[in-house]
Structure 1
C-alpha cells in the first residue's frame, strides 16, 4: 500500500536516479507500465513524472514513445558553458560563505577520492559528491537548484571524462587547488580554478569523442 501512494515527485527522483546510474541509457525507451512495475507504483505518478522529464528535455519523443534523450555536440557544448559559469559562481560564493567545517569536509573528500583514481566509475560518483558540496557551501539555494538541473542533464552523457587516461589524477590535483583557494577565502582564485577545471574536463570529453568517431570511421 505504501509504495502505491508515492507522489509524482518521488517517482521523478527514482527515474532520474535510474538514468544517472546507467540503468537507462540515452536512446532507451521508457515504458509507463514497465516503470510502474519496476518501482512498485501506479501508472498515474509515472505518467506525470515522465511529462516533467520531457519538459526538462531529459526525455524526447520517438514517434509515440519517450526515450532517454541523447545530447548532440552543440547541446554538450552549451551545457559545459552553463556549467562552467554556474560552478565558477558557486566556488566564488563558497570562498566567501563556507564554514570551517565545510572546508574541512571538502579536504576530507579530496583525500578519500585520491584512493579512487584507478576506478573511473567510483571516482565519477565521488566527483559529483565533491562538486555538490561546493554548491552547498555557496549558501545560495537558487544556484544549487540550477546546478542540480545541470548535473541531471549531464547524466545523459554516455561516459565520464574521468575514464580518460591520466584525467583522474589531474582532476584530483585540480580539486586540491580549488579547496585551497576556498580555504584561503580567495574568491577570484576559487572561481578561476573551478572554471579551468570544467574547461579541462570539456576538452578531455571532446578528445574522447573525436577518437571514438575516428575508430568508427566517422
Structure 2
C-alpha cells in the first residue's frame, strides 16, 4: 500500500500567496523576494520561484529585477478594469444575495461597523481592510464559480487603485454610505437593490479615480 503523495511545495506556496493577495494582505508597496520567501518556508528558491512565476503568468503579480509586486497598471488599464467591474460585479452580488449565511452577514456587519468608524478616525488602512472584507464575503457567496473566479482574478489589480481612491475624502464618505446601504439590502435579501447599489459603488470608485487622475487628451485620442 502506497502513501498518498503530498502536494508539491510550489503548489502550497502558490495557494498561500494567492490567498494573501485576494485577502488584500499584500499591498502595492510590498516587494516579494524569492530568497526571503524561501527563508519563510524553509525551502530552496526553486519552488518559491515557480509559485511566484505562476502568479505572474496568471496576472496576480508583476516580475521585476528586484522581486515581485502587485501589477503596476497604467490609466488605460485601470479604466478598462472599472468597465469590467461595472459589467460583472453588480450581477454577481445580486446572485450572492440569497446565498449569504448568517455568519456571512455577521462578518459584513462587523466590516461595515469598522468602515463607519473610519469616518471619525480617518484610518485609511482600516477602511481598506474593511472594504476588502466586505468585497470578499459577498464574492465568495457567488454561486457561479466561473464568475466568482473571474472577479477574484482581477482583485489584486485593483488594490492599489482602491487605496488611492479611499484617500479621497469625498469618496470616503460616499463609499461608506453605500457600504451601509448595501448591507441593509443584503440583510433584506433584496437582490435588485443589491445590484443597483453595487453598480453605484463601482461608479463612485471610478469617479474618484478619474477626479484624481483626469484622462489626458493624448490618452483619449489613443
| Equivalence for 1:194 | 198
| Equivalence for 1:22 | 27
| Equivalence for 2:112 | 110
> Higher mean Cα deviation, 6-15 or 185-194?
6-15
Are 1:182 and 2:186 an aligned pair? Answer: yes
Instruction: Indicate if the aligned counterparts of 2:128 and 2:162 stay in contact, CA closer than 8 A.
Output: no
| Equivalence for 1:11 | 13
Inter-partner Cα distance in structure 1 for 2:68 and 2:140: 32
- TM-score, normalised by the number of residues in structure 1: 0.76
Structure 2: runs of 5 or more not aligned: 1-6, 216-222
| Equivalence for 2:124 | 120
Cα deviation, 1:136-185, whole Å, max 9, x if unaligned, reads 23344433322222212223548431111132222111012112222333
Inter-partner Cα distance in structure 1 for 2:136 and 2:110: 14
Q: 1:94 to 1:164 in 2, by over 3 A?
A: same
Pairing partner for 1:154 from 158, 171, 196: 158
Cα deviation, 1:105-124, whole Å, max 9, x if unaligned, reads 42343123211231111110
Inter-partner Cα distance in structure 2 for 1:100 and 1:54: 36
Inter-partner Cα distance in structure 1 for 2:152 and 2:103: 23
Inter-partner Cα distance in structure 1 for 2:28 and 2:80: 25
Q: How does 1:64-213 map to 2 (within 5 A)?
A: 67-68=68-69, 69-117=71-119, 118-157=122-161, 159-210=163-214
Inter-partner Cα distance in structure 2 for 1:22 and 1:179: 26
Inter-partner Cα distance in structure 2 for 1:158 and 1:175: 14
Inter-partner Cα distance in structure 2 for 1:131 and 1:42: 35
Inter-partner Cα distance in structure 2 for 1:89 and 1:196: 12
Q: CA RMSD in A?
A: 3.1
> Higher mean Cα deviation, 192-201 or 72-81?
72-81
Structure 1: runs of 5 or more not aligned: 212-218
